[in-house]
Chain A
């Protein structure tokens, strides 16, 4: 069975400090991968997607970057956190063409980030 793991579960960081969030998918080869961000009480915003290793597309500019160093790994990072980066980060995977298709998109448990 496929599993999706995100780390860390939660993080409290200072403004200006670096950040690295991780996502690993096990049990599926060559999935499409996605990063989403949700401000507290807000809607979800797609940040990045990746169709293949080494290839990442940015959807929204939030002073964040993403990388896919391995087929089953997706990393979200920044060198300098802003207060506005606080929120809930979700990683997801799907198969098939497009982020929305009849093959369900599966989400990780998420990482809560508080920037002070």
Chain B
């Protein structure tokens, strides 16, 4: 089945530092997305990025499909960026998502 591996499992940074999160997937994923889960549980979609580089605000995701990897870069981290970041993949249109184990990010003042 599909597998998604994320690294690191946890990351602690000082406010203002940049964060780099990695995601590796087992098959040539056709759809890939990054999600953020706030402490306490609610989940939001961050970036849809099946290939190439996408930006939104301080977030940049780069997906190299042939190498089966994606990264999420958070620049100038803020305390409110703390939480867990999940990478998820889906083969196009089959409606079945596989999530990675997540990276728990802690930003300290």
Contacts and interface: CB of A to CB of B under 8 A. Distances in A.
Contact of A107 (B43, B94, B100): B43
A57 B41 CA distance: 25
Interface of B: 31-33, 41-45, 48, 86, 88-90, 92-102
Interface of A: 32, 34, 42-46, 49, 51, 57, 59, 88, 90, 92, 97-102, 104-107, 109-110, 112
A32 B95 CA distance: 9
Contacts, number: 65
Contacts of A51: 95
B90 A99 contact: yes
A101 B48 contact: yes
A34 B94 CA distance: 13
B42 A100 contact: no
B45 A105 contact: yes
Given A46-B96, A104-B48, A98 B90 contact: yes
